[in-house]
Amino acid sequence: MTKGFFLFGVLLLPLISMGQKSYYLGVDLLRSFPSYFQKGFTFEPSFIIKNKHDLYFDFAVGITRISHSSVYSNINYRNEGEYVRFAIRKDVGGNFDIGLGVGFSSFTEYGQVQFSNPSFGNYLLGLVQENQLFFIEPTINYKINLSPRFQLVPQYRVPVVLATFDEDLFPVYSAPGVGDLNFFTPKSSLKSTSATIAISLRLVYQIKGN
Amino acid sequence: MIALGLFVGLESCKPCDPSLSPNLSIVFSSGRQYKRVASIDPSSVLIENNPQASFLLPVWVGSEKMTFVFSNESQKDTLTVSYSRRFLLKSTDCGYVYEISKLQVAKPTSFRSIVFTPNSFQLTIND
């Protein structure tokens, strides 16, 4: 799989180097701050190259440190991980572009379950599971021009995890870079789903080019 | 010592309450009464100044072995039980639960004649 990614990168080089280029730096805003749903943060800076054929080569790395007070009914949950993403996007007009991305995520999920007993007190059960997975994701992006160099880019993604990623202790709750994998899971199920939906909001700054 | 080695599957909750602990039922068939019952590790006084010949005692999920000390004015006896624990996610809706199984009488135990009632998590002590 790693060799495949390397070969993929080598094959892309002629595409990236074609023609006049613009360069952008971006950062995801939506996942950078704690929310109603989770504490912690995801920091995702990105570097984007656009060639004269309106093709974007979109590189992103991310680091995630999030926690939920309760998942799967009674698990105090923490997720720490990193990921890389690469996408090719193409302008389709009207400030929209569409793309296809690939990524790799490596993360550790920590769960803590508390069993209470009136005679003996609480017993805390610690759960730890590590995971690495590849994913692909079609994306739709919409560019809102804030100024000549700043753009706000809402992004809609449908990440699909490749290969099996089930764990023994509890279903993978979320994968950094992918999103929550319990989104379509029935409450009676003990498996995560391979596909999910995700939304990003990036602030992008053009550092060079037209 | 009677090694029971029998299987009792007892979920901590039915259908969905992981905070409930399974209880161990102890019956003294001779009618002998103990007024105090305490557990060792975890240390806790479970019954105090309440003479009885049968007890419903909680099982601690934090270990796989528990010792109970039964006492009255003239006598002090010890019962140790071992068991297996299994933790599992029952469902995403119910969350994590535990099961206690493979209950056995272990050392130190001062009773000599103990009968295990399958499927009820009950020990009858005939001493």
- Using a 10 angstrom Cβ sphere, with 0-12 exposed, 13-18 middle and 19 or more buried, the burial of residue A24 is buried
Cβ burial of A145 (10 Å; 0-12, 13-18, 19+) is: exposed
Does residue A128 belong to the interface with chain B, where contact is any CB pair within 8 Å? no
How confident is the prediction along chain A (210 residues), in pLDDT tens digits per residue? 556 656 666 666 666 666 778 999 999 998 766 566 678 889 999 999 999 888 999 999 999 999 998 888 889 999 999 999 999 999 999 999 999 999 999 999 999 999 888 889 899 999 999 999 999 999 999 999 999 999 999 999 999 999 877 788 988 999 999 988 877 777 667 888 899 999 999 999 999 876
Residue with tokens 């100024």: A147
> Domains in chain A, ordered, with CATH?
2-208 (2.40.160.20)
Which residues on neighbouring strands pair with residue A160, listed in sequence order?
A136, A195
**Which residues does chain B have with pLDDT short of 70?**
1-21, 118-119
Task: Please identify among residues 86-115 of chain B the ones whose CB lies closer than 8 Å to any CB of chain A.
Answer: 87, 89, 91-96, 98
Q: Which residue pairs, CB below 8 angstroms and at least 24 apart, start in A42-45?
A: A42/A66, A42/A176, A44/A177, A44/A200
In this prediction, residue B19 carries a pLDDT of 44
pLDDT of residue B47: 92
In degrees and rounded to multiples of 5, residue A4 shows phi and psi of -60, -40
From B89's Cα to the closest Cα of chain A, the distance in A is: 6
Cβ contact (<8 Å) for A115 and B19? Answer: yes
pLDDT of B9: 39
CA-based nearest distance B86→chain A, Å: 11
Q: Which residue of B has its CA nearest to A72?
A: B92
Nearest to B98 among A115, A121, A169 (CB): A115
Residues on chain A touching B39 (C-beta within 8 angstroms)? 119-120
The pLDDT, as a whole number, for residue B5 is 37
Size of interface A-B (CB pairs under 8 A): 68
Looking at chain A, which residue has its C-alpha nearest residue B42? Answer: A120
Chain A residue closest in CA terms to B91: A188
The pLDDT of residue A181 is 87
The pLDDT of residue A11: 63
Residues 6+ apart with CB under 8 A from B112: B1, B127
- A185 touches A5 (CB < 8 A): no
Q: How far is A115 from A132, CA to CA, in rounded Å? A: 30
Give the one of B21, B91, B92 whose C-beta lies nearest to A117's C-beta.
B21
Q: Report pLDDT for B91.
A: 80
Which of 12-31 (B) contact A at CB < 8 A? 12, 16, 18-19, 21
Backbone angles phi, psi at A95, to 5 degrees: 65, 5
Domain ranges of chain B: 10-125
- With a threshold of 0.90, tell me whether the complex ipTM lies above it: no
CA A44 to centroid of chain Cα atoms: 9
Among the partner residues A74, A117, A170, nearest to B60 by beta-carbon distance: A117
Residues of A in contact with B61 (CB under 8 A): 115, 117, 123
Compare CB distances from A119 to B58, B87, B94 and report the shortest one's residue: B58
Least Cα separation, residue A65 to chain B (angstroms): 22
